[in-house]
Homo-oligomer: A and B are copies of this chain.
Amino acid sequence: MTQFAFSFPEAAKIQQSLHKDLLGGKGAGLAEMTRLGLPVPPGFTLTTAACLAFLEGQKEGQKGQGEFPVGLWDQVLKQLSALERESGKTFGHGSNPLLVSVRSGAKFSMPGMMDTLLNLGLNDQTVQALALESGDARFAWDSYRRFLALYGDVVRGIAKHNFDEIMDTLKRERGVQGDLELTASDLEALVGRFQALYLEHGGEHGGVAFPQDPLEQLAGAIRAVFSSWNTRRAVTYRQINNIPHNLGTAVNVQAMVFGNLGQNSGTGVGFTRDPNTGGSELFGEFMFQAQGEDVVAGIRTPEPLEALQHRLPAVHRQLVQTVRLLERHYFDMQDFEFTVEKGQLFVLQTRSGKRTSQAAVKVAVDLALEGLITRAEAVMRVPPAALEQVLHPRLQSHHGAKLLTKGLPASPGAVSGAVVFSADVALERSKFQKVLLVTSETSPEDIHGMHASVGILTARGGMTSHAAVVARGMGRPAVVGAESLKVNAAAGWLEVGGIRILQGETLTLDGASGQVFLGNVPTEPSQAGPELETLLAWADTHRRLKVRANADTPEDAIRARAFGAEGIGLCRTEHMFFGDERLPWVRQMILAENELEEKHALERLLEMQQADFYGILQAMDGLPVTIRLLDPPLHEFLPALEGLAVEVAQLELKKQDHHESKNLLARVRQLHEHNPMMGLRGVRLLLTRPAILEMQVRAIAQAACQLKLEGQNPQPEIMIPLVGLTEELKQARDLVKNTLEQVSLEQNTPLNIPIGTMIEVPRACLIAGELAQHADFFSFGTNDLTQMTLGFSRDDAQGKFLGQYLEGGILEKDPFATLDTVGVGRLLELAVQEGVRSRGTLKLGICGEHGGDPASIAYFHRVGLEYVSCSPYRVPVARLSAARAVLEPRLIPNP
């Protein structure tokens, strides 16, 4: 005979590894707490196997609907007798009646999805006994009417609103507003009416009376809880959360305890540490003379736990000891529920507590320092994504700043930028300045613009509006629903509080507070506590992957270094080409009609670039800085074709001079490409216009020489982008080498600068063995590699079909956020294997967006890259992820 019912102490003896499977999460917890000798109300658990057998029987219809599997009911009766003995109470009769709760408890938590019954065992007799025993007739009748309503709903399928309506009628009759104004006798009357409802229910054929027999109550409750595994909402929840459907739920039958039996009773919830800050003090609330549901109903404001300490110091002491024990037992901060019945403490539930990102870091570090967990475990306790939140910049001080408006704090972080009013303009302008996208509301078609912006501000929408959800997903600070904003996108302005702000003006928004300021309010990195440093230092001892940053300016480089970057993996030189001083020279270089003009422009750019590189190499002194030579197509530096064509047409119509614009238009049209992403850029551009390459290499080499002469240790590495053909790399490498040698001779300074290539064209992966013969390093440009391997234009896909693909399950994850290991990864692994086989000393890194994505970092670790490179703010995320990638296969994380 299968044992389906286990008392908590019996359950604790089941093989540990089966606890959750058989007993469910809640049952396992109760068994464990009982085993630890904690004050848990006694009870027993019906296993998930019982549930499955019951459901199987239902399905087969071999037995009558709702028949229990053979032996189950006998076991329940036996456990019930034991429970009566242990509690000294009697079930369904007697002066001290036993009441029980009947709760579901599956292997994986499914909060609110399945049914629960409280106060089972109440009937017309026991309610009287309860009134006597508690000395509170109102409490007894109130419990009974609650039980009747719940039982009716859960077991009999009499919808809750039927009971509510009866209650409302009674309140009208009595002329009262709230439930609390109803007296004991009112509630007694209510019980009568509820029982009448049972009989009426079922229409003309009549209903069935409420079962006075508590055993019948119990059998009905167990059946209902078992069956609730297959309710529609439970099935849907499992689908969404990827929980298998064949697990079943356990049922926990437990003696009720009451927090409302007099002044020395009460109920509380708490955390073993502060879930907001991670501080080590107990944190919780207590309500005297109340049951859990009273707290939920908000009849009074709960008091802090200190109140318990004052009034029942012994109980408080016992509580502290108990929950500390729980924390030591579960090796984690606990979220617990407890009740005090007549001065006696009962712990009802405990589980790992939810916490803020900041608390997660502190708790993990503190637990390790307290010796409860290892440092490696601490590293595994903090989800890497949490760090991004911790590190978001915040306003330094907004003293004196003009507050324009306040909206909903939709996505944390403070940021300043030039306002733009459309996604397209955002994308366009973002090439040379930081932009804030301001719209009435956003739609999926704006995604490219949201991505291009540093922050988002909308006049409409709530915390779950498109703008809010997407901004949080992208990690962009956002304020939404700032209703005092009036946005006129077509005309290019917004008005707020009588102030009109035009496109291009600067605003600052604080996504943590919802505030929007005029102008540029300084921000600072969030002051993460010292525990973060500690945690990252521990992480660093485990990780094998090095972490570099993508940084284009000395400021970025300094920030990255502060975050622990071990070098720069991608320094994009083209970003230096935008900016008001430089663009004219860049344009002259592009449009040069003869070598002299080109040379003149390049000479000016050389000075500027040399200063840039000097600053970055200085900031990263002693650490490698991988500088990518010019990558984008040249037309990106020129005005957009469409706008220019319109301008020329307008000038022409107005009979104004348009000679210059027309010439420019001709040149822009000449440089225009149908698919610039796959056009004249990267190494193709460098080989077509080698003077640009030579200028850039010279700037790097001269900056390095200058620093060396000053006694510093610059470590530049030169990276050639978009290589797909061996000969491209050979020729470009030769050009780089020649310039380096020239500068080295001129400056009489030895230069030993590695030359490598970005691997971002699929073909490069396919000929990696050959390419490795001509490269000191490979850096995977996974953005472009993803674009070309999937044939997804990133800018276009975001707004056009990617959303639908993700919704429709065609794609599981955005391949631009988390690496497509199946497709792109296969190419990458091929390149790693064949590259290293060809050149044993080849250095391998990755500098696409994926370098800051935890899941992708774990993958890069597995395939054996040497480093990842990501944006400065994600460096801590990457350090932690890289450590977890090492630890994950080794540790079985705590449940």
Give chain A's interface residues, CB within 8 Å of chain B.
Answer: 424, 445, 641-643, 645-646, 648-650, 653-654, 669-670, 673-680, 684, 687-688, 722, 724-725, 727-728, 731, 760-763, 766-767, 784, 787-793, 795-797, 800-801, 804-805, 808-811, 820, 822-824, 826-827
Q: Are A789 and B801 in contact (CB under 8 A)?
A: no
Q: Closest CB of chain B to A596's CB: distance in Å?
A: 22
Task: Evaluate whether A679 and B793 lie within 8 angstroms (CB atoms) in the complex, with A445-B670, A687-B808, A725-B810 already known.
Answer: yes
Q: Are A766 and B673 in contact (CB under 8 A)?
A: no
Q: Are B678 and A793 in contact (CB under 8 A)?
A: yes
- Across-interface contacts of A823 in B (CB, < 8 A): 724, 762-763, 766-767
Q: Are A784 and B789 in contact (CB under 8 A)?
A: no
- Across-interface contacts of A688 in B (CB, < 8 A): 800-801, 804
Residue of B nearest to A678 (CB): B793
**For the complex, what is the distance from the CA of A678 to the CA of B308, rounded to whole Å?**
65
**For the complex, what is the distance from the CA of A793 to the CA of B648, rounded to whole Å?**
28
A793 CB contact (under 8 Å) in B669, B675, B796, B827: B675
- Across-interface contacts of A687 in B (CB, < 8 A): 801, 804, 808, 810
Q: Closest CB of chain B to A671's CB: distance in Å?
A: 9
Task: Evaluate whether A677 and B679 lie within 8 angstroms (CB atoms) in the complex, with A646-B646, A684-B801, A763-B824 already known.
Answer: no
- Across-interface contacts of A731 in B (CB, < 8 A): 808, 810
- Across-interface contacts of A679 in B (CB, < 8 A): 793, 796-797, 800
- Across-interface contacts of A728 in B (CB, < 8 A): 810
**For the complex, what is the distance from the CA of A688 to the CA of B823, rounded to whole Å?**
23
Residue of B nearest to A725 (CB): B810
Q: Are A796 and B766 in contact (CB under 8 A)?
A: no
Residue of B nearest to A795 (CB): B674
Q: Are A811 and B675 in contact (CB under 8 A)?
A: no
Q: Are B789 and A766 in contact (CB under 8 A)?
A: yes
Q: Closest CB of chain B to A785's CB: distance in Å?
A: 9
- Across-interface contacts of A796 in B (CB, < 8 A): 673-676, 678-680
Secondary structure class of chain A's binding surface, majority of residues: helix
- Across-interface contacts of A808 in B (CB, < 8 A): 687, 731
**For the complex, what is the distance from the CA of A646 to the CA of B810, rounded to whole Å?**
39
**For the complex, what is the distance from the CA of A669 to the CA of B675, rounded to whole Å?**
16
A761 CB contact (under 8 Å) in B790, B804, B811: B790
**For the complex, what is the distance from the CA of A761 to the CA of B679, rounded to whole Å?**
17
**For the complex, what is the distance from the CA of A784 to the CA of B788, rounded to whole Å?**
11
Task: Evaluate whether A727 and B789 lie within 8 angstroms (CB atoms) in the complex, with A653-B653, A796-B675 already known.
Answer: no
Q: Are A678 and B766 in contact (CB under 8 A)?
A: no
Q: Closest CB of chain B to A795's CB: distance in Å?
A: 5
Q: Are B763 and A820 in contact (CB under 8 A)?
A: yes
Residue of B nearest to A761 (CB): B791
Interface centre among A675, A810, A827 (most CB of B within 10 A): A675
- Across-interface contacts of A725 in B (CB, < 8 A): 790, 805, 810-811
- Across-interface contacts of A791 in B (CB, < 8 A): 677-678, 722, 724, 760-763, 784, 788
**For the complex, what is the distance from the CA of A642 to the CA of B643, rounded to whole Å?**
8
Task: Evaluate whether A800 and B673 lie within 8 angstroms (CB atoms) in the complex, with A679-B793, A728-B810, A823-B767 already known.
Answer: yes
**For the complex, what is the distance from the CA of A800 to the CA of B654, rounded to whole Å?**
35
Jot down 25 A-B pairs with beta carbons below 8 A, ordered by A: A642-B645, A645-B646, A675-B678, A675-B795, A676-B793, A677-B678, A677-B793, A678-B678, A678-B787, A678-B797, A679-B800, A687-B804, A687-B810, A688-B800, A688-B804, A724-B790, A725-B790, A725-B810, A728-B810, A760-B791, A762-B790, A763-B790, A763-B824, A766-B827, A788-B789
Q: Closest CB of chain B to A24's CB: distance in Å?
A: 34
Q: Closest CB of chain B to A838's CB: distance in Å?
A: 15
- Across-interface contacts of A642 in B (CB, < 8 A): 641-642, 645
Q: Closest CB of chain B to A766's CB: distance in Å?
A: 5
- Across-interface contacts of A827 in B (CB, < 8 A): 762, 766
Interface centre among A650, A669, A823 (most CB of B within 10 A): A823
Residue of B nearest to A445 (CB): B670
- Across-interface contacts of A654 in B (CB, < 8 A): 653
**For the complex, what is the distance from the CA of A796 to the CA of B641, rounded to whole Å?**
16
**For the complex, what is the distance from the CA of A445 to the CA of B724, rounded to whole Å?**
23
**For the complex, what is the distance from the CA of A766 to the CA of B800, rounded to whole Å?**
24
**For the complex, what is the distance from the CA of A876 to the CA of B858, rounded to whole Å?**
54
Q: Closest CB of chain B to A233's CB: distance in Å?
A: 27
Residue of B nearest to A784 (CB): B791
A766 CB contact (under 8 Å) in B645, B810, B822: B822
**For the complex, what is the distance from the CA of A670 to the CA of B826, rounded to whole Å?**
35
**For the complex, what is the distance from the CA of A722 to the CA of B805, rounded to whole Å?**
15
**For the complex, what is the distance from the CA of A715 to the CA of B793, rounded to whole Å?**
36
Q: Are A811 and B727 in contact (CB under 8 A)?
A: yes
- Across-interface contacts of A787 in B (CB, < 8 A): 678
In addition to A643-B645, A684-B801, A725-B811, 9 A-B residue pairs with Cβ atoms within 8 Å of each other are: A646-B646, A674-B796, A675-B793, A679-B797, A687-B801, A688-B800, A727-B810, A761-B789, A766-B789
- Across-interface contacts of A804 in B (CB, < 8 A): 687-688
Closest 8 CB pairs of A and B: A675-B793, A763-B823, A678-B793, A679-B796, A761-B791, A680-B800, A673-B796, A727-B810
Residue of B nearest to A820 (CB): B763
**For the complex, what is the distance from the CA of A105 to the CA of B645, rounded to whole Å?**
63
- Across-interface contacts of A645 in B (CB, < 8 A): 642-643, 645-646
**For the complex, what is the distance from the CA of A649 to the CA of B644, rounded to whole Å?**
11
Residue of B nearest to A644 (CB): B642
Q: Closest CB of chain B to A260's CB: distance in Å?
A: 55
Residue of B nearest to A646 (CB): B649
Q: Closest CB of chain B to A300's CB: distance in Å?
A: 53
Q: Closest CB of chain B to A677's CB: distance in Å?
A: 4
**For the complex, what is the distance from the CA of A524 to the CA of B471, rounded to whole Å?**
63
